[in-house]
Structure 1
Amino acid sequence: MRELTFAIEYDPGADPIMDVFAAYPSLTAHSLDGVIAADQFWRIERFSGPAAALSRIEEVRFDDDTCGEAITETRCGAARFHDTLERSTNGLVLYTHLDAIRGCESVHTLAGTHLPSGVIFQTRRRGSAHWWRLLMRSDDRIGVFYDDLSARLREGLSFRMGHLRDADGWRQESLAGTALSEPQERALRAAVAAGYYDPPRETTLDDIAADLGIPRSTLSYRLRRAESALLHGYVDDTTPDRWLE
């Protein structure tokens, strides 16, 4: 499998979705997208940020008169379906399906036109940038896709190339959150339930290890591994520029 990465930067006022990110600097999003055909794709996107920013994202996404897909001057005509899968104080998960796309060009439609079928997209958004990773069976016609994409960007959008290489780092945690081993998760859940991470600390590692029936050293090791995985997952999520390296 091959991997292509790039980023598109947006000037203020150039895109209604990206304007929300510009207005709320702490707002972030990551998505998993799939192209079904040149005129059809789906996306699941998870947003994290202030409640006001999430409400604005929902307003823009559910407004059929607003297009957040086109990279050219022409607005996308399509049969749109959006649904809120999850909503919390600082989190939002949206499902999107666009069908019968016509009259516009987007990253998805250009990939559907030029690249082999079965392309998967992983994206990140923050501030003025939208980062993309494409997972492909091969890089046939990748030059045509790259030339078409970079040449067709409308005013206010700019392109930054990352890399083209064998796919790397598409772990489970990249697609569906950070993955912990069963012992690590059991240890972490026990520590959280016992109040180990609450100030003031309500328990000790000795107490939790005794409850789990394992040595203190084993518990400490599992917690360190779990904490490391979670912290790296968080930092990786908030520094998508690394994709371009």
Structure 2
Amino acid sequence: MREFTFAIDYEKGVDPVMDVFLEHSTLSAHSLDAVVDEHAFWRMEHVTGPETALDRLEDIRFDDSCCGEAITEQRCAAERHHDVVERSTNELVLYSYLADIRQCESVHTLAGKHLPDGLIFETRRQEETCWWRVLMRSDEQIGIFYDELGARLHNGLSFRMGHLRDASEWRREQMAGLNLPEEQETALRTAVSAGYYDPPRETTLDELAVELSIPRSTLSYRLRQAESTLIHRYVDRNETTRWLE
């Protein structure tokens, strides 16, 4: 398998979806997409951010008159299907399926036209940038895809090349979720269930250590390690730019 990465930067007023990200710097989205063929694709998108931004993004996705896919001057006509899988005040999980795509030039349709069947995409959106990672069986036609993608972008969009290489490691943590060592996960789940992280705190490290039959110092170490992993994963906003290295 081969992996191709790139980024597209958006100026304000060019794309309705990206305008929401430009207006809300704390809004971020991660998606997995699959191309059925050049006329159809599906997406599962996970978005976190302010409730007002999520409301606006949901309205745009469900508005068939808004095109949030095209990257050239040619707007998209398609049969659109959207479903909200999960929604809270700061989180949105949205499923989208576009079929019978006509007169459209998006990353998905251009890739479906030039690259082999079975494509999978991972994207991240934040502020003015959408990062793309493409997993493909062969890069035989990647030159044509690259040339067409870079040369035909809509005014106000700019292209940044990442890399083309073997996909020996394809972001397993995003596909499988966050993994902690078993002893750290057990300690963390026990602490959460017992109310250790609730205000006011409902238990102590000593009580948890007795419940788990381990020394207090061992429990404290395991919780600190788990907390460090979770905090760094949440805070590290430079992770997306590593796609381009």
TM bin, normalised by shorter chain, reads over 0.9
CA separation in 2, counterparts of 1:27 and 1:165? 30
Q: Is the 8 A contact 1:33 1:44 kept in 2?
A: yes
Q: Per-residue CA shift, 1:109-134, capped at 9, x if unaligned? A: 11111111111111110101101111
1:103 alignment partner in structure 2: 103
TM normalised by structure 1 equals 0.92
Letter in 1 for 2:164: L
- 1:241 Cα deviation (Å)? 1.2
Helix, strand or coil at the partner of 1:243: helix
Q: Per-residue CA shift, 1:33-65, capped at 9, x if unaligned? A: 011111110000011011100000011000001
What residue ranges of structure 2 are gaps of 5+ in the alignment? none
- 1:215 Cα deviation (Å)? 3.5
Q: How does 1:1-245 map to 2 (within 5 A)?
A: 1-198=1-198, 201-236=201-236, 239-245=239-245
Q: Is the 8 A contact 1:50 1:90 kept in 2?
A: yes
130-139 vs 85-94, which moves further: 130-139
Q: Is the 8 A contact 1:172 1:179 kept in 2?
A: no
Helix, strand or coil at the partner of 2:130: strand
Helix, strand or coil at the partner of 2:135: strand
Q: Per-residue CA shift, 1:103-160, capped at 9, x if unaligned? A: 0110001111111111111111010110111112222211111111111101010001
CA separation in 2, counterparts of 1:47 and 1:104? 25
Q: CA RMSD in A?
A: 1.9
TM normalised by structure 2 equals 0.92
Q: Is the 8 A contact 1:28 1:238 kept in 2?
A: no
Q: Say how many residue pairs are matched.
A: 245
CA separation in 2, counterparts of 1:151 and 1:26? 31
Pick closer, same or farther for the CA change 1:32–1:237 going to 2, 3 Å.
Answer: farther
CA separation in 2, counterparts of 1:173 and 1:210? 32
Helix, strand or coil at the partner of 2:174: helix
Letter in 1 for 2:143: G
Identity among equivalent pairs (%): 65
